[in-house]
Amino acid sequence: MNQFPKTILLLMTFSVFFALLQVLLKAESKKNDKMQRPSEVSIQKETIRKESEPIPIFVKRYQQQSFDLWEKSFFKNNKKIINNESTKSNQK
């Protein structure tokens, strides 16, 4: 093969590669935007033990706060499922 057709094939290969790379990066950036939006992200307060607070009481308080946070997240993400189950039970 002559040098010119090899160069053209190489340039075409690189252009296809870069086009696919751009599509991949664009899809990844859209995925990241959907995952975390600043308006939907809630900032979790730190749970710090006070010097005078006994450790068992701190652990109970920490567990309660963790469970409340989990419960809030669970119900926020599964609202549709819970609503569907409640309507089914009301129909019976």
3-state DSSP call for residue 37?
Answer: coil
Range in 4-13, 19-28, 54-63, 67-76 the model is least confident about: 67-76
**This prediction's pTM:** 0.38
> What is the Cα–Cα distance from 77 to 92, expressed in whole angstroms?
26
Q: What is the reported pLDDT for 78? A: 72
Average pLDDT taken over every residue of the chain: 79
Question: d(Cα 57, Cα 25) in Å, to the nearest integer?
Answer: 48
| Domain ranges for the chain | 1-33, 54-92
